[in-house]
Amino acid sequence: MTIEPLAIYIHWPYCKSKCPYCDFFKRVQKNVPQEEIIRFYLKELDFYHRLLPERRICSVFFGGGTPSLIAPENVNRLLEHAFKLWESAANAEISLEANPNSEYPNMFRQLRRAGINRLSLGVQALNDNDLRFLGRTHNLRQALHSIDEVLQNFENHSMDLIYARPTQTLDDWQKELEQAAAFGFKHLSLYQLSIEEGTLFYKKNVHPLDEDDAATMYNHTVDYLRLHNYPRYEISNFAPLEYESVHNKCYWEGGDYIGIGESAHGRLKINNKFYAVDNPPTTGAFPVQRHKEILTAEERAEELLIMGLRLQKGIDKSRFKNLCGLDFDGFINQTNAADLERLGLIINNKQCLAATDAGFLLLDNIIARLCP
């Protein structure tokens, strides 16, 4: 019997402050009851093991929020418990997102000892002015020091940067790109700044960079990184094949994953039914109330389309049918697909459908037109 892979997302929604561009669910809280929360997380792992006993862990991802606020011994408790419940793939990826300013002495060394084997560092900008603008709690000196420590303590690592800041020029961004490519990270995640409703930037009427300038910046980024051994494999992520994120590809390729913690969510296939499991934000009390619903084949197919087109390789039509039971060509709007192909925005053949370089700039529009 084939043992299906399972990814585990552990959400730590707590932060010391909230960045003005952030539209994710966060709790800005100083005194976090870690022991209470960790006990709840352990019980959640037990619940999912009863639901899915025969699985093999392919990845664990600590996201947030600021998961580097979790004490390393608690990171280790969660990992040890998960690996007691399920067997693990030999190359299981264990990731954690961290801020550059250390929360305790030798933070990165301690996280490595706790079981983290891939560290994602949220640098966001490589100059002090823009770090202040983005509301980051670290400065460039701290960022550079943390970069050195991450590279020393981990063999697999990633760095996040935000580009298309309101006053940023292409020359400004080129300097940061050159630095980023020279550090030696195995993976880069580069996100275009967007001003979302409800954020502090939105309330302060901060305007994003002009769309044409942002598109030029994005295309330049893709071309530059491709020449420096960071090919684009997803719309915002760049890495050689062997360092593509195992965990995030689970989302994009439609794999099964569970979400632990407040505001986390999961997607599961159980007895040939597709489930969406969400943990809606609460008043902060525990336990978090779990919400589970069955997805129709059409709803599952739409999610696979939305997520899969983010990938450079696009959607494998055979895999699509295996995951949702629907024929891909029968599901999408074929009239619009033909128009998009004629415009050079997608590649569509018997095996797959993928966005072109020009198509990545219009991905939301392409997805809307392909959905039935």
* 282, part of any domain: no
b/e map of 345-372 (b: 16 or more CB within 10 Å)?
A: bbebeeebbbbbeebbbbeeebbebbee
- Sequence-distant (≥ 6) Cβ neighbours of residue 86 within 8 angstroms: 6, 49, 55, 56, 57
Closest CA to 108 of 91, 94, 123, 96: 96
* 238, part of any domain: yes
**In this structure, what token pair is assigned to residue 113?**
């000892």
Question: What gap in Å lies between CA 154 and CA 168, rounded to an integer?
Answer: 31
pLDDT of residue 244: 98
* Angle (CA) 202 210 134, round 5°: 45
Same domain, 57 and 142: yes
Same domain, 190 and 318: no
What is the distance, to the nearest Å, from the Cα of residue 216 to the centroid of all Cα atoms in its chain? Answer: 24
Same domain, 219 and 308: no
Same domain, 235 and 347: no
- Domain end residue (candidates: 218, 250, 282): 250
Q: Are strands 87-98 and 55-64 parallel, antiparallel or unpaired?
A: parallel
Same domain, 100 and 216: yes
**CATH number of the domain that residue 371 is part of:** 1.10.10.920
* 268, part of any domain: no
Domain count of the chain? 2
- 308: containing domain: 297-372
Name the more confident of 290 and 230.
230
What is the distance, to the nearest Å, from the Cα of residue 223 to the centroid of all Cα atoms in its chain? Answer: 22
Same domain, 302 and 368: yes
Name the more confident of 240 and 31.
240
Q: pTM of the predicted model, to two decimals?
A: 0.95
Residue pair 196/204 in contact by the 8 Å Cβ criterion: no
pLDDT for residue 357 is more than 60 = yes
For 112-145, what is the HEC assignment?
A: HHHCCCEEEEEEECCCHHHHHHCCCCCCHHHHHH
pLDDT for residue 103 is more than 80 = no
Which pLDDT band holds residue 289 (cuts at 50, 70, 90)?
A: low
Same domain, 75 and 165: yes
- Domain end residue (candidates: 215, 250, 285): 250
**In this structure, what token pair is assigned to residue 220?**
């330049």
CA count, 13 A, side-chain hemisphere, 123: 30
pLDDT tens digits, residue range 290-329?
A: 788 999 999 999 999 999 999 999 999 999 999 999 999 9
- Domain end residue (candidates: 250, 265, 287): 250
Residue pair 358/317 in contact by the 8 Å Cβ criterion: no
pLDDT for residue 102 is more than 80 = no
Residue pair 185/148 in contact by the 8 Å Cβ criterion: no
* Angle (CA) 221 227 228, round 5°: 90
Residue pair 81/41 in contact by the 8 Å Cβ criterion: no
pLDDT for residue 283 is more than 60 = no
Same domain, 217 and 340: no
* 120, part of any domain: yes
Same domain, 229 and 347: no
pLDDT tens digits, residue range 34-68?
A: 999 999 999 999 999 999 999 999 999 999 889 99
**CATH number of the domain that residue 234 is part of:** 3.20.20.70
pLDDT tens digits, residue range 104-119?
A: 789 999 999 999 999 9
Same domain, 94 and 223: yes
| Residue range 332-356: mean pLDDT, rounded | 98
pLDDT for residue 241 is more than 70 = yes
Compute CA distances 317 → 208, 265, 323, whole Å.
36, 26, 10
Residue 165 β-bridge partners: none
* 279, part of any domain: no
Whole-number percent of the chain with pLDDT over 70: 97
pLDDT of residue 238: 98
pLDDT tens digits, residue range 161-220?
A: 999 999 999 999 999 999 999 999 999 999 999 999 888 888 999 988 999 999 999 999
* 136, part of any domain: yes
Residue pair 42/83 in contact by the 8 Å Cβ criterion: no
pLDDT tens digits, residue range 118-150?
A: 999 999 999 999 999 999 999 999 999 999 999
Compute CA distances 251 → 304, 308, 318, whole Å.
9, 9, 17
Same domain, 317 and 245: no
What 8-state DSSP symbol labels residue 209? P
Question: What gap in Å lies between CA 346 and CA 353, rounded to an integer?
Answer: 7
Name the more confident of 74 and 284.
74
pLDDT tens digits, residue range 67-95?
A: 999 999 999 999 999 999 999 999 999 99
* 286, part of any domain: no
Same domain, 302 and 156: no
| Residue range 235-263: mean pLDDT, rounded | 96
What 8-state DSSP symbol labels residue 311? B
pLDDT of residue 168: 95
* 260, part of any domain: no
